Amino acid sequence: MSLNGKLVLSGLAGFVATLPMTAAMSRLHARLPRRERYPLPPREIAENLPKFGMPTSVATLAYHFLYGAAAGSLYAALCNRRDPMTGALFGVGVWGASYLGWIPAARILTFGKRHPARRNSLMLVSHIVWGATLAMSLRELEAARGSVFSLAEASRPNLLDRADRQG
């Protein structure tokens, strides 16, 4: 498969993996002490970006899922293994590169270590969920691409032939 194909499948897997990550973030955020329940980084970031007429809550989810897809697309380019442990480690790397690296360097948010430990743990666990799900999702997409969605079938009747047999 071409690099472009790998990037697309991995981006789709990253997008999909953002859903369980979001669920984990939501549930863990609710368990924080009240004083630590201020908006999580995706919301804080979205507050400083264009909303394109969307409510901030919708823009937050859109940016969050797009970032999950973009970061996910890197997985196929950087990692050959598709197991949950490798994915989880990749998720930790994305967390570190984001919240300890480029996001504070770009002055979008403060350095991750300046937030309470429980909030950092919440974000770290959520990225582990995202990474493990990313790896498993990519493995399934690659398997589907090579089997049920493959164009390499030996004999394929055209769609009209299939309809005639069913009807």
- Residue range 24-34, pLDDT digits in tens: 999 999 999 99
Please tell me which residue, 127 or 3, carries the higher pLDDT value.
Answer: 127
Give the model confidence (pLDDT) of 82-139 as tens digits.
999 999 999 999 999 999 999 999 988 887 778 899 999 999 999 999 999 999 999 9
Confidence of residue 60 (pLDDT cuts 50, 70, 90): very high
Q: How far apart are CA 19 and CA 65, in angstroms?
A: 8
pLDDT classification of 151: cutoffs 50, 70, 90? low
Instruction: Return all residues near 123 (Cβ < 8 A) that are at least 6 apart.
Output: 25, 40, 41, 95, 99, 112
Q: What pTM was estimated for this model as a whole?
A: 0.86
Domains of the chain, by residue range, sit at: 3-166
Cα dist. 110→44, 95, 126, 142 in Å?
10, 14, 19, 38
**Is residue 161 pLDDT above 60, yes or no?**
no
